[in-house]
Amino acid sequence: MGVELTYRDAVAKAIVDEMNRDDSVYIMGEDIGRYQGTFRVTQGMFDDYGPKRVIDTPITEAGFTGIAIGSAMSGLRPIVEMMTMSFSILALDQILNHAAKVHYMTGGQASVPMVIRGPGGAAKQLSAQHSHSLEGWFAHCPGLKVVAPSTPECAYGLFKTSVRDDNPVIFTENPGLYTVKGELPDDDDFTVPIGKARIAREGTDMSLVCYSRMVHVCLEAAERLAEQGISAEVVDVRSLLPLDMETISASVAKTNRAVVVYEDWKFGGFGGEIASRIGEECFDDLDAPVLRVGGLNVPTPYSRVLELECIPSADSVLAAVERLS
């Protein structure tokens, strides 16, 4: 039997395991050391590893991301924590123009093995500047890998794989998942491959394709649909780039209907890419149009009541399914 951990503790365990396994792994970011992290993912690490491997940085995302890229090119494996992934906007030049392109522009002579991680998406009243879901922005850029796990087990296994990968990996953790509990395998070397989706719930009538916290929203919707006699399959994408279309296509071929659910703004969000690929590659299997359920196209409000109205819920998923019935 494995141990039950929260999502937050699963990420922390993966960081510690990889730092113990490989001396070239270190972590840097704002308030991750003495303060022990805004979301407490790095709690206790400063005392255990010291200031050379758990590095508190100034509030300068572009600066410390650039330092991490240089150290990765020199043989280290940095983990960069963004206090919130919304702040990664300040480091977009370093991430998109350097981390993602160095391997290509040096003809494969240099690699950038690093992980950029942190909370992405709405939490509870963090307002418009701290609630972005940016995973689709990063998935648009060749040279990066982008993952968005939904469970403690997936977070643990995918993080270990991400640290060991020789490419820069964007690892987004929805803050609404940090307290979710789950059982980890009794195997300290357990990993989950990047680029492989999973079936979170088997079904025959409808495919709900989703990732990150929306997996739990879709599982709730699937339970309520079952009460109506509708069998919904929940596909947990997990990895946005590379995207596992084989698993998604196989699900759609079985159910003949698809709803793509994502927390990002609906307009231009990554769910549109998934829906388009389903339309292109699974056209003959579809008995109805592919629908999307995404966040409202507004800045995330501070008001909790309004915030909840902007984020997809089980009710909004059910409303979309009714349109296909």
Distances (CA, A) of 159 to 114, 197, 238: 11, 15, 12
Burial of 313 (0-12, 13-18, 19+ CB in 10 A): middle
Q: Which of 4, 30, 103, 130 is catalytic?
A: 130
What pairing do the DSSP bridges indicate for beta strands 145-147 and 239-241?
A: antiparallel
Q: Which residues of 127-136 are buried (b: 16+ CB within 10 A; e: fewer)?
A: eeebbbbbbb
> Both ends of the chain: CA-CA distance in Å?
42
- As a whole number of angstroms, the distance between CA 215 and CA 238 comes to 9
| Assigned token pair, 15 | 């960081």
Q: State yes or no: is 309 an active-site residue.
A: no
Our measurement of the distance from residue 139's CA atom to the centroid of its chain's CA atoms, rounded to an integer in Å, reads 11
- Provide the strand spans (E) within the chain: 4-6, 25-29, 54-56, 77-81, 115-119, 145-147, 169-173, 181-183, 198-201, 206-210, 232-236, 239-241, 258-265, 291-295
Tell me how many helices (H) and strands (E) the chain has: 12, 14
Distance CA 110, CA 311 (A): 40
The residue from 30, 61, 233, 307 that is catalytic is 61
| Backbone φ and ψ of 5, nearest 5° | -135, 160
The Cα 219–Cα 271 span in angstroms is 17
How far apart are alpha carbons 136 and 109 in whole angstroms? 28
Q: 257 and 288 in contact (C-beta within 8 Å)?
A: yes
Active site annotation includes 61? yes
* Inter-residue contact 292 to 272 (CB < 8 Å): yes
Tokens of 85: 């992934």
Q: SS3 of 82, please?
A: coil
- Give the active site residues: 61, 130
